[in-house]
Homo-oligomer: A and B are copies of this chain.
């Protein structure tokens, strides 16, 4: 028997139960990717990250950080100060993700004119309303 143990799993076939796909689902969301991009600048405290991601709620950020920590991409350290401070930092595993994330961030920064031109062309050809 080898059916349920080996779901099809290639860059062309994202089976729902494929471990690669499940991992993809865990990090391919905007808050996770923005948190990791922010932490590329060094360890950050909770509220500092919160202020860096305009529009994120405390709850969403908390959930995102916890998931990133659980998956080993981020480490959490409680500083024995008063009041308590908590620092989040990229783990060694997380740092292996930085190259593609840096590239992606630069891409969004550098291709705004190209994308806006594409949108204008699209909107011109497709009835608005």
Copies of this chain, whole number: 2
Check A14–B28 contact: CB distance below 8 A.
Answer: no
Q: Point out the residues of chain B lying under 8 angstroms from A27, CB to CB.
A: 108
List residues 1-26 of chain A with CB under 8 A from any CB of chain B: 9, 11-16, 19-21, 23-25
Q: Is A99 an interface residue (CB 8 A)?
A: yes
Q: Which of A30-38, A57-65, A80-88 is found at the contact surface with chain B?
A: A30-38
Check B105–A93 contact: CB distance below 8 A.
Answer: no
Q: From the candidates B19, B53, B96, name the one contacting A14 in the complex (CB within 8 A).
A: B53
Q: Point out the residues of chain B lying under 8 angstroms from A103, CB to CB.
A: 99-100, 103
Q: Point out the residues of chain B lying under 8 angstroms from A37, CB to CB.
A: 11, 14
A14-B54, A105-B11, A117-B72 known; A33-B28 Cβ under 8 A:
yes
Q: Is A52 an interface residue (CB 8 A)?
A: yes
Q: From the candidates B28, B30, B93, B114, name the one contacting A24 in the complex (CB within 8 A).
A: B30
Q: Point out the residues of chain B lying under 8 angstroms from A16, CB to CB.
A: 54-55
Q: Is A112 an interface residue (CB 8 A)?
A: yes
Check B25–A28 contact: CB distance below 8 A.
Answer: no
5 closest A-B pairs by beta carbon, nearest first, are A72-B118, A100-B100, A28-B30, A100-B103, A16-B54
